[in-house]
Amino acid sequence: MSQQSYLIDTNILIGLEDYRTVETSYAKFSSLAAAHKVNVFVHEAARDDISRDKNPERRKISLSKIAKYRILGKRRGLTDAELEAHFGPLRKPNDVVDATILHALKIDAVDFLVTQDRGLHERAQKYSAELGRRVLFVGDAADLLTQTYEPKKVPIRHVAEVDAHMIDHEDDFFDSLRDGYPEFDDWWRDKCVKQHRPCWVVYDNDQLAGLIVRKDEVGTDTDAVTKAGKILKVCTFKVSPDKRGVKLGELLLKQVLWYAQTNGYDLAYLTTYEDQAALMNLLEFYGFYHAGTKANGELIYERAFSPEKLTDDSSNTVFEASRKFYPRFLVPEGGRGFGIPIKEAYHDTLYPDLWNPRQPDLFTGASGAETPTRPGNTIRKVYLCRAPSKLGEAGSVLFFYKGASKEPPSQAMTALGILESVTLAKSTRELMQLTGGRSVYSEEQLAGWKATPTKPVKVINYLLVAYIDPPISLDELREMGVVNGNPQQSIYELRGDLLRLLLDRANLEFDV
Average pLDDT of the residues of the chain: 88
| Residue-wise pLDDT tens digits, 78-107 | 999 999 999 999 999 889 999 999 999 999
Helix (H) or strand (E) holding 208: strand 207-217
The more confident residue out of 247 and 345 is 345
User: Do the Cβ atoms of 139 and 24 come closer than 8 Å?
Assistant: no
Distance, CA of 145 to CA of 31 (rounded, Å): 10
User: Bridge-partner residues for 493, per DSSP?
Assistant: 338
Q: How many CB atoms lie within 10 A of CB 133?
A: 24
| Residue-wise pLDDT tens digits, 13-39 | 776 665 555 578 888 898 999 988 899
Confidence (pLDDT) at 246: 59
| Residue-wise pLDDT tens digits, 236-261 | 999 987 766 557 888 899 999 999 99
Q: Tell me the residue length of the chain.
A: 512
Distance, CA of 102 to CA of 87 (rounded, Å): 8
The more confident residue out of 174 and 368 is 174
Confidence (pLDDT) at 367: 33
Half-sphere exposure of 269 (CA within 13 A, CB side): 26
Distance, CA of 179 to CA of 274 (rounded, Å): 16
| Residue-wise pLDDT tens digits, 389-415 | 889 999 999 999 999 999 999 999 999
If pLDDT is split at 50, 70 and 90, which confidence band does 215 have? very high
Distance, CA of 317 to CA of 305 (rounded, Å): 19
| Residue-wise pLDDT tens digits, 407-436 | 999 999 999 999 999 999 999 999 988 887
Going along the chain from its start, the domains and CATH numbers come out as 5-149 (3.40.50.1010), 160-304 (3.40.630.30), 337-505 (2.30.130.30)
Q: Which of the residue ranges 117-126, 205-214, 238-247, 265-274 would you say has the lowest mean pLDDT?
A: 238-247
Helix (H) or strand (E) holding 281: helix 277-285
Confidence (pLDDT) at 21: 57
Distance, CA of 303 to CA of 287 (rounded, Å): 6
Distance, CA of 343 to CA of 199 (rounded, Å): 35
Confidence (pLDDT) at 464: 95
> Residue 442: left if φ>0, alpha if ψ -120 to 50, beta else—which one?
beta
| Residue-wise pLDDT tens digits, 34-78 | 988 899 999 998 887 788 878 888 788 778 878 788 999 988 999
Residues 173-201 have a mean pLDDT of 92
E strands in 275-361:
289-293, 299-304, 337-342
User: Do the Cβ atoms of 123 and 416 come closer than 8 Å?
Assistant: no
pLDDT above 90 as % of the chain:
62
| Residue-wise pLDDT tens digits, 114-168 | 999 999 999 999 999 899 999 999 988 988 888 787 754 433 347 888 999 999 9
Helix, strand, or coil here: 469? strand
Distance, CA of 379 to CA of 353 (rounded, Å): 12
Q: Which residues contact 54 (CB under 8 A, 6 or more apart)?
A: none
User: Do the Cβ atoms of 122 and 135 come closer than 8 Å?
Assistant: no
Distance, CA of 181 to CA of 187 (rounded, Å): 9
Of 328, 335, 342, 457, the closest CA to residue 392 belongs to 335
| Residue-wise pLDDT tens digits, 160-184 | 889 999 999 999 999 988 887 889 9
Distance, CA of 106 to CA of 100 (rounded, Å): 10
pLDDT above 70 as % of the chain:
90
If pLDDT is split at 50, 70 and 90, which confidence band does 11 have? confident
Distance, CA of 426 to CA of 95 (rounded, Å): 32
Distance, CA of 96 to CA of 87 (rounded, Å): 10
Distance, CA of 403 to CA of 425 (rounded, Å): 25
Start-to-end CA distance of the chain, whole Å, equals: 45
User: Do the Cβ atoms of 293 and 264 come closer than 8 Å?
Assistant: no
